[in-house]
């Protein structure tokens, strides 16, 4: 088989890139290791920057998001069980959209199906070859038979554990990493959200977050030791802990119920450079990971897609390679700024095991400054709603 762009990974970045390129007449094939049901059962991001919202609309998958998503003009922060609000709209003129990654992925799969997009799922042993030549190709095994796809370019959209980044020689690849000494325990429950906007809470027992998916589906997180056995966290233990960490009025009115999903995710900051090697481009989590505190992971995947999509369109339509030649540089400039924001939100809001009394006071002072300063709130809001592409 031959295609113009072979995309490894059928998560949001691979699907969105495929859909946008298709609309410009550029042919793609997606190779996905897992089944579609598996991909659609992953519960992940919940907040879209406005730039991401506009990219999804441009890709023709904005209708359900615009009908069912929730536009949020601000967020609540809480310190020592006392909340204050940051008004994104007043401070920046912009808002965010709360619409789950699972739904974004579903909308993209539906659109690709409607347009007869080729998505090969349950593809094993996906391996890119000849990435530093003019004739790259990708091999994979499906139902016991090996196949080969010849292409012009390979887009590595295969997440942190994928094969693409590992194809870049160690002599070229530079990796930067910081692993946090805790995780996020998240639950999904069929209960009305406790608040009309998200609540990010700093508490002496650890961080907590109240988020949502729709009017009867809530998403809550508490900071927890990353090696805690999940069985230890009965629903009752989770709700008790969450209530201790959030503002009292929220704790009093929260509606609890059985969890329908529960998982413990590690927190990491990671960047791989460069994001292009020969005919390979890394996109999204394949190149970088942020801790979820700033809600940036999916949004960074979308901004990578933005730069690569425009570069590839320029290459095919105008015979101009300047876009793909500057892809890594442009994407990384934005990636590092989002890394900084996610890292600073994580440091401000979590309890670290080795935190000294001084560190603790610094955190309290930072939150007090944020509460009282329009300049500090504007800086947070500008990053949260998303830096320009």
Which of the residues are catalytic? 72, 200, 292, 296, 384
Does residue 25 contact residue 18 with C-beta atoms inside 8 Å? no
User: Is the omega angle on the peptide bond into residue 180 within 30 degrees of 0, that is, cis?
Assistant: no
**Minimum CB separation from ligand RFL for residue 46, in Å?**
4
Does residue 267 contact residue 346 with C-beta atoms inside 8 Å? yes
By the rule CB under 6 A, 295 interacts with ligand RFL: yes
Binding to ligand RFL (CB under 6 A) within 122-181 occurs at 123, 126, 157-159, 161-163
Binding residue for ligand PHB (CB under 6 A) from 69, 292, 311, 323? 292
Binding residue for ligand RFL (CB under 6 A) from 3, 7, 11, 306? 11
**Minimum CB separation from ligand PHB for residue 332, in Å?**
22
Binding to ligand PHB (CB under 6 A) within 21-80 occurs at 45-47
Token pair in block for residue 252: 């009093």
d(CA 10, CA 17): 10
By the rule CB under 6 A, 13 interacts with ligand RFL: yes
Task: Please choose, out of 9-17, 131-139, 202-210, 354-362, the segment that lies near ligand RFL by the rule CB under 6 A.
Answer: 9-17
**Minimum CB separation from ligand RFL for residue 374, in Å?**
25
**Minimum CB separation from ligand PHB for residue 263, in Å?**
11
Binding to ligand RFL (CB under 6 A) within 33-52 occurs at 33-34, 39, 44-47
Q: Is 119 exposed, middle or buried (0-12, 13-18, 19+ CB in 10 A)?
A: buried
By the rule CB under 6 A, 295 interacts with ligand PHB: yes
The order of strands in the sheet holding 280-282 is 118-120, 28-31, 5-8, 153-156, 280-282, 276-277
- State which residue, 121 or 371, has the beta carbon closest to ligand RFL: 121
User: Which residues neighbour 94 within 8 Å (Cβ) at sequence distance 6 or greater?
Assistant: 50, 88, 385, 386
Binding residue for ligand RFL (CB under 6 A) from 152, 241, 285, 339? 285
SS3 293: helix
Residue 10 binding target from ligand PHB, ligand RFL, none, CB below 5 to 8 Å by type: ligand RFL
Long-range contacts of 372-381 (CB under 8 A, 24+ apart): 374/91, 377/86, 377/87, 377/91, 378/91, 378/92, 380/86, 380/345, 381/86, 381/87, 381/88, 381/91, 381/92
Q: What residue is closest to ligand PHB based on CB?
A: 46
Binding to ligand PHB (CB under 6 A) within 182-211 occurs at 198, 211
d(CA 119, CA 221): 33
d(CA 266, CA 227): 9
Residue 219 binding target from ligand RFL, ligand PHB, none, CB below 5 to 8 Å by type: ligand PHB
Closest CA to 62 of 34, 20, 93, 91: 20
Q: C-alpha angle with apex 135: 130 to 139, nearest 5 degrees?
A: 55
The contact set with ligand PHB (CB under 6 A) reads 45-47, 198, 211, 219, 292-293, 295
The contact set with ligand RFL (CB under 6 A) reads 8-14, 31-34, 39, 44-47, 101, 123, 126, 157-159, 161-163, 184, 186, 265, 284-285, 292, 295-299, 301
């Amino acid at each position: 088989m031959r295609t113009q762009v072979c995309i490894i990974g059928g998560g949001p970045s691979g699907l969105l890139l495929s859909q946008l390129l298709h609309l410009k007449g550029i042919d793609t094939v997606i190779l996905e290791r897992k089944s579609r049901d598996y991909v659609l059962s992953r519960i992940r991001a919940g907040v879209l920057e406005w730039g991401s919202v506009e990219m999804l609309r441009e890709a023709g998958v904005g209708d359900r998001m615009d009908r069912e998503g929730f536009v949020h003009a601000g967020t609540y922060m809480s310190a020592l069980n006392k909340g204050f609000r940051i008004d994104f709209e007043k401070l920046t003129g912009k808002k965010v959209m709360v619409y789950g990654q699972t739904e974004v992925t579903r909308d993209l799969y539906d659109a690709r199906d409607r347009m007869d997009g080729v998505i090969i799922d349950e593809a094993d042993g996906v391996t890119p070859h000849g990435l530093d030549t003019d004739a790259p190709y990708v091999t994979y095994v499906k139902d016991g038979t090996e196949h080969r796809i010849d292409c012009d370019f390979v887009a590595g959209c295969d997440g942190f554990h994928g094969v693409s980044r590992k194809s870049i020689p160690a002599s070229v690849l530079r990796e930067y990493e910081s692993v946090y000494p805790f995780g996020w325990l998240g639950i999904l429950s069929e209960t009305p959200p406790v608040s009309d906007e998200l609540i990010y809470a700093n508490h002496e027992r650890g961080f907590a977050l109240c988020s949502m998916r729709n009017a009867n589906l809530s998403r809550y997180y508490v900071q927890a030791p990353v090696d805690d056995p999940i069985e230890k966290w009965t629903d009752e233990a989770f709700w008790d802990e969450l209530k201790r960490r959030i503002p009292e009025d929220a704790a009093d009115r929260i509606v609890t119920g059985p969890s329908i999903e529960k998982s413990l995710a590690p927190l990491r900051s990671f960047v791989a450079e460069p994001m292009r090697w020969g005919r390979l481009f890394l996109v999204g989590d394949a190149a970088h990971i942020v801790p979820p505190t700033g809600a940036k992971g999916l949004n960074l995947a979308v901004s990578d897609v933005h730069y690569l999509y425009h570069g590839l369109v320029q290459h095919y339509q105008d015979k101009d390679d300047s876009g793909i030649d500057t892809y890594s540089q442009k994407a990384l400039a934005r990636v590092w700024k989002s890394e900084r924001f996610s890292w600073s939100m994580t440091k401000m809001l979590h309890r670290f095991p080795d935190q000294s009394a001084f560190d603790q006071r610094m955190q309290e002072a930072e939150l007090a400054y944020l509460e009282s300063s329009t300049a500090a709130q504007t800086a947070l809001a500008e990053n949260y709603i998303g830096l320009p592409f």
